[in-house]
Chain A
Amino acid sequence: MSTLTSAHSLWTLAADTPAGRIPAPVIEYAQLAPTLIVVGAAVVGILVEAFVPRRSRYYVQVFLAFAALASAFAAVVGLAAGGYGSTKAHIAAMGAIAVDGPALFLQGTILLASVVAVFTFAERRLDPAAHGNRVDSFAAQAASVPGSDSEKAAVKAGFSTTEVFPLALFAIAGMLIFPAANDLLTLFIALEVFSLPLYLLCAVARRQRLMSQEAAVKYFLLGAFSSAFLLFGIALLYGYAGSMSYAVIADVVDGTITKIDPALAGTMGNDVLLLMGGALILTGLLFKVGAVPFHMWTPDVYQGAPTPVTGFMAAATKVAAFGALLRLLYVVLPGLRWDWRPVMWAVAIVTMLAGAVIAVTQTDVKRLLAYSSVAHAGFILAGVIATSAEGVQSVLFYLAAYSFGTIGAFAVVTLVRDAGGEATHLSKWAGLGRRSPLTAAVFAVFLLAFAGIPLTSGFTGKFAVFSAAAQGGAGVLVVIGVLSSAIAAFFYIRVIVLMFFSEPKADGPTVAVPSPLTMTTIAVGVAVTLVLGLAPQYFLDLAGQASTFVR
């Protein structure tokens, strides 16, 4: 505050140097390799759709997606090993993209989560074969009207929407840039790059297509709405600082930059623009993380989207969006933290409580998990608010722990099926533990982790987040967080009770035997949940080393 007011008196000098020659852009390709690999693979994927025969497309696409994600992850590891997460952290691509600890950690998390998510995309053994062709979770032909003859013909011909793989790769590419974006324009472009494919992915469910399309339209409308807020906020911030660059805006906020762009003399340094712009950008990001009151799309979209997409979205979007939120608050607006902290406090509290409370009366597994993700967004916000290295560390750890558990949980949801596809109504899960003890036990592990029971990753994550928040002086927030956890524990454990201590129904669902793909996803989810719960120290240290933003 004081620096700001003192800064105003200094803004008297006009910019005297005219714009010089435009420098030739320098792009550090090697440091951007993770993103470039994924984008490249996505483009190749489009070509595959165009040129590879329909029969072999599935295999080529799965292989391509997997190879791209794996090599991108290898590139991330290579960069981290090369010191780009710590000593060599810097800003690449002409100030557009940061290569630093948080960016690499989040990119690694997104890539690994995407690998297991893509495995569930590729699953083709859950539904019975239609006309001798194995089918996955996606519509035979997304463009045909549900229930129409064209749809039937497509099913009969054994079509499948293999476009989902390049779409997912595009989304992943956007997500990789999102937390690394170092100027507002890149941030916006990354947001759109990962949002648009997600809207499409939501619309292509094989079963209950109308619901899927409804979800996609809602997601698109509300997403566009929130993008508008974000864009408006970007405009206001530009008006305030005269630059899109995070570093420059931060300097203007701090008062270290005192020159005023003559073209913006009327608005630059106007705090109302800063505050409104900051709030509007926050709105856009809070929409993506699903914080109350911007969460209302989550249950509808989570329920309607094909379940593999839901898992992917719930995990990877959240990681990317929280990454961007962290960078915005820690790099751009730290000088403003006395302004945004109380507001974010309120958002975190409302998010935790509303997510937990509304989940109590849910009757659909996917909606339940959606509200649970809202509550988790609130817990993570508590760590964000800490504004300390521990806060960043705890959020990074929480995101890693949460994303694998979430993808695993949604993968289990895809297994429980009846004649109409996935049986997501909770009443159908009664007595599942009697019929399929292993499946129910695995789901119980995920639920216990979400509830934050010790020896699971959820406990470690919650503990880290809450202790960071408490050290940051947010004691009240921690108390409310623990109370919400208690409410949340109720509905998680209610599902466990339902699965293990209720009589199975006569016409209950069956548990499909998945291919090794989904099994791997679930096994990785369980393994991460238990390892991060039993021996979290290595990963906490890793997140701790990765907790410094470059500016």
Chain B
Amino acid sequence: MENLIALLIAAPLLGAVVLLCGGRRLDRTGHWIGTLLAAVSFGIGVALFADMLGRSADDRTLTQNLYTWIPVEGFQADMAFQLDQLSMTFVLLISGVGTLIHVYSIGYMEHDERRRRFFGYLNLFVAAMLLLVLADNFLLLYFGWEGVGLASYLLIGFWQHKPSAATAAKKAFLVNRVGDMGLSIAIMLMFTTFGTFAFGPVFGAVGEASEGMLTAIGLMLLLAACGKSAQVPLQSWLGDAMEGPTPVSALIHAATMVTAGVYLIVRSGAVFNAAPDAQLVVVVVGAVTLLFGAIVGCAKDDIKKALAGSTMSQIGYMILAAGLGPIGYVFAIMHLVTHGFFKAGLFLGAGSVMHGMNDEVDMRKYGALRKYMPVTFVTFGLGYLAIIGFPGLSGFFSKDMIIEAAFAKGGTEGWILGGVTLLGAGITAFYMTRVMLLTFFGEKRWQPDAQGHEPHPHESPKSMTIPMVILAFGSVFAGAFFEIGERFLTWLEPVTGYEHGNPPVSAMTVTAATMVMLLAGVGIAWGMYGRRPVPVLAPRGSFLTRAARRDLYQDDFNHVVLVRGGEHLTRSLVYVDHSLVDGVVNGTAASVGGLSGRLRKLQNGYARSYAVSMFGGTAILIAATLLMRAV
């Protein structure tokens, strides 16, 4: 079976190569090829999954060593894959949701003349993401990590004719570079400390390293995770990334790629377990981002940006859970999977709405769409109920477990974290209810678009609605399926380890508190957007609203601190370079040039001078030879 692992990656990679190199002759069939190959990957994933279930829990890890990638003495990197329960979970999520979104894109991108290229990029993304989660060493993981970064860059900027899309792509790329730097430094530190970067040997040797070194590695890994998963302080790119086509937002910037940071931290659990300081920073980052994203999500009128804020916030939950250590790893991944379902569903729903509304994204210009788009309304509604944690739906179980685990951290920390996660649940309920109300309820607030076309909202084609329906099923049932009989915990525990925490309050109390927050959030949103008519033009709003609209001044902060600071730094460096470095360099060059000019004069063109030079040279040669003997 292990020989199939490489095929998981090979199928979409083949698709990417064929579609990107195939040229125009594939324009009419390209999307089918792309979708088929993604589906093939999913099929192989399912086969491997069935095989894995057939084996006992401690015998489920498969490895495949394709070849030695970098064969240097003392520096071995293998093109080797490792498929354990954690990777399997991701494989199914990536290829499953990936395939659905491929199907969805067939309809969504129907009128785009560069659709073939779009599917090529999507396949490239799937291949790179699978490589990321299947790698058995950090260097190969890094390869996949950069691959998804590239695919993300290409897809955010897919509509490159829009300057905003090009800028957003560049921004995502640059911000991610910072995180990628962290990952590469972490790998280098690992190599100097352990002499290897393969998962097994590194995690096995954690006990031999000093805690300081492990903390450093952990913090660098966290930096990487922050970049990829849009966590504070590297969160600024995610909102702008919504410039990409909506299926991209659903697949890459909601369900899969942005969760790579969570994967990285859970995968490196052994390092973090031995570095409590790094873990603390992870938890703080998660908690801050959780609130940051939620607050931003409350103020955005752009439906995709509101959902992007929500994504940030939900990943904050996961990072927080991952930072809790063995009591949280399993729940981080479980929330990741359920979130993959409902957030992808929500984005696809948003895409469906935009599709029907002439690509309008401002929710203030929606309203009353439930009658016109019943399927979208129902699937989006189920996703909505799942994300706010409506009892019985996916989000209810997975988020509840994280909140409990946060309380179980113990001491003041536990109370603070528990409080933050509870507050986050309340805000989630508020902003998601707001999205729901603005979009599907109330009165029509439709406006003609720039060309004067009145929108005629209609239900989207089957290729779009079917994936939404499937994802809605996942949003509803996945949580319960995982939770009943602790299936997910039993499944993942052999890889990530598990410790049962003891929350200072009972599980029932936590659930009850969550319900109270939920109701409060929904109630406030209803009060603000359900009972009163919604103005088409956004009111000025309170200070907090304005701040949240500007993403809590993240870009202003970055501009003042990083851009200006960077400019000053480069200016001083340029000065040093001009005056000092160039001085030395130019001085050397000038002296070489001067010497050259002088020596050149010896070459005067007279054969007699040349002969003298030869004669002198011979004399010196003989004299030197004789002298050597004499000495």
Pick from B602, B607, B609, B625: contact of A275, CB below 8 A: B625
A490–B607 alpha-carbon span in the complex (Å): 30
B358 at the interface (CB under 8 A from A): no
A153 at the interface (CB under 8 A from B): no
A225–B599 alpha-carbon span in the complex (Å): 23
A225–B611 alpha-carbon span in the complex (Å): 8
CB distance from A490 to the nearest CB of B (A): 7
Q: Which of B605-631 contact A (CB under 8 A)?
A: 605, 607, 609-611, 613-614, 616-618, 621-622, 624-626, 628-629
Stretch in A40-48, A170-178, A256-264, A352-360 with 4+ CB within 8 Å of B: A352-360
Residues of A close to B617: CB separation below 8 A = 283, 292-294
Residues of B close to A272: CB separation below 8 A = 626
A459–B468 alpha-carbon span in the complex (Å): 58
Q: Mark A277-298, 1 if CB is under 8 A from B, else 0.
A: 0111011000100001110110
Stretch in A338-346, A445-453, A530-538 with 4+ CB within 8 Å of B: A338-346
Q: Which of B570-629 contact A (CB under 8 A)?
A: 589, 592-593, 595-597, 599-600, 602-603, 605, 607, 609-611, 613-614, 616-618, 621-622, 624-626, 628-629
Pick from B599, B605, B607, B626: contact of A354, CB below 8 A: B599
Specify the chain B residue showing the minimal Cβ separation from A1: B629
Residues of B close to A339: CB separation below 8 A = 625, 628-629
Residues of B close to A293: CB separation below 8 A = 613-614, 616-617
Pick from B589, B610, B613: contact of A490, CB below 8 A: B589
Q: Is the CB of A217 within 8 A of B629?
A: no
CB distance from A278 to the nearest CB of B (A): 7
Residues of B close to A225: CB separation below 8 A = 611, 614
Q: Which of A297-321 contact B (CB under 8 A)?
A: 297, 299-300
CB distance from A213 to the nearest CB of B (A): 13
Residues of B close to A358: CB separation below 8 A = 596, 599-600, 603
Q: Is the CB of B592 within 8 A of A357?
A: yes
Take A279-B618, A296-B614, A343-B621 as given contacts and tell me if A360 and B596 are in contact as well, using a CB distance cutoff of 8 Å.
yes
A296–B610 alpha-carbon span in the complex (Å): 6
Q: Is the CB of A360 within 8 A of B592?
A: yes
The total number of A-B Cβ pairs within 8 Å is 88
Specify the chain B residue showing the minimal Cβ separation from A275: B625
Residues of A close to B611: CB separation below 8 A = 221-222, 225
Q: Is the CB of B628 within 8 A of A222?
A: no
CB distance from A433 to the nearest CB of B (A): 23
Q: Is the CB of B629 within 8 A of A357?
A: no
Q: Is the CB of A275 within 8 A of B596?
A: no
Residues of A close to B621: CB separation below 8 A = 279, 282-283, 343, 347
Q: Mark A183-227, 1 if CB is under 8 A from B, else 0.
A: 000000000000000000000000000000000011001100110
Residues of A close to B613: CB separation below 8 A = 293-294, 296
Residues of B close to A343: CB separation below 8 A = 621, 624-625, 628
Q: Is the CB of A361 within 8 A of B593?
A: yes
Residues of A close to B602: CB separation below 8 A = 296
CB distance from B448 to the nearest CB of A (A): 51
Number of interface residues of B (CB under 8 A): 27
Take A357-B592, A357-B599 as given contacts and tell me if A276 and B625 are in contact as well, using a CB distance cutoff of 8 Å.
yes
A240 at the interface (CB under 8 A from B): no
A276–B593 alpha-carbon span in the complex (Å): 37
A229 at the interface (CB under 8 A from B): yes
A381–B592 alpha-carbon span in the complex (Å): 23
Q: Is the CB of B624 within 8 A of A346?
A: yes
Q: Is the CB of A280 within 8 A of B622?
A: yes
Residues of A close to B610: CB separation below 8 A = 218, 222, 296-297
Residues of A close to B618: CB separation below 8 A = 229, 279-280, 283
Q: Is the CB of B628 within 8 A of A361?
A: no
A271 at the interface (CB under 8 A from B): yes
A431–B229 alpha-carbon span in the complex (Å): 48
Q: Which of A217-269 contact B (CB under 8 A)?
A: 217-218, 221-222, 225-226, 229
Take A217-B607, A487-B592 as given contacts and tell me if A338 and B600 are in contact as well, using a CB distance cutoff of 8 Å.
no
Q: Is the CB of B599 within 8 A of A226?
A: no
Choose among B599, B616, B621 the residue with the greatest number of A CB atoms under 10 Å from its CB: B621
Specify the chain A residue showing the minimal Cβ separation from B605: A300
Residues of A close to B589: CB separation below 8 A = 490
Q: Is the CB of B629 within 8 A of A275?
A: yes
CB distance from B497 to the nearest CB of A (A): 46
Residues of B close to A360: CB separation below 8 A = 592-593, 596
Specify the chain B residue showing the minimal Cβ separation from A232: B618
Take A287-B614, A490-B589 as given contacts and tell me if A357 and B595 are in contact as well, using a CB distance cutoff of 8 Å.
yes
Residues of B close to A342: CB separation below 8 A = 624, 628
CB distance from B620 to the nearest CB of A (A): 8
A43–B609 alpha-carbon span in the complex (Å): 38
Q: Which of A104-137 contact B (CB under 8 A)?
A: none
Residues of B close to A280: CB separation below 8 A = 618, 622
Q: Is the CB of A361 within 8 A of B607?
A: no
A300–B600 alpha-carbon span in the complex (Å): 12
Specify the chain B residue showing the minimal Cβ separation from A221: B607
CB distance from A439 to the nearest CB of B (A): 28
Q: Is the CB of A275 within 8 A of B626?
A: yes
Specify the chain A residue showing the minimal Cβ separation from B631: A342
Residues of B close to A222: CB separation below 8 A = 607, 610-611, 614
Residues of A close to B625: CB separation below 8 A = 275-276, 278-279, 339-340, 343
A297–B611 alpha-carbon span in the complex (Å): 9
A347–B621 alpha-carbon span in the complex (Å): 9
Specify the chain B residue showing the minimal Cβ separation from A367: B603
Q: Is the CB of B597 within 8 A of A361?
A: yes
CB distance from B446 to the nearest CB of A (A): 55
CB distance from B587 to the nearest CB of A (A): 14
CB distance from A329 to the nearest CB of B (A): 13
Choose among B616, B625, B626, B628 the residue with the greatest number of A CB atoms under 10 Å from its CB: B625
25 residue pairs from A and B, CB less than 8 Å apart: A222-B610, A225-B614, A279-B622, A292-B617, A293-B613, A293-B614, A296-B613, A296-B614, A300-B603, A300-B605, A339-B628, A339-B629, A343-B621, A343-B628, A357-B592, A357-B599, A358-B599, A358-B600, A358-B603, A360-B592, A361-B596, A361-B597, A361-B600, A362-B600, A487-B592
9 smallest beta-carbon distances between A and B, as pairs: A293-B617, A296-B610, A360-B596, A361-B596, A279-B622, A283-B618, A279-B625, A218-B607, A275-B625
Beyond A222-B607, A343-B628, 16 extra complex contacts between A and B, CB < 8 Å = A222-B610, A229-B614, A275-B622, A275-B626, A283-B621, A292-B617, A293-B617, A294-B613, A296-B614, A300-B605, A339-B628, A342-B624, A343-B621, A359-B596, A361-B593, A362-B600
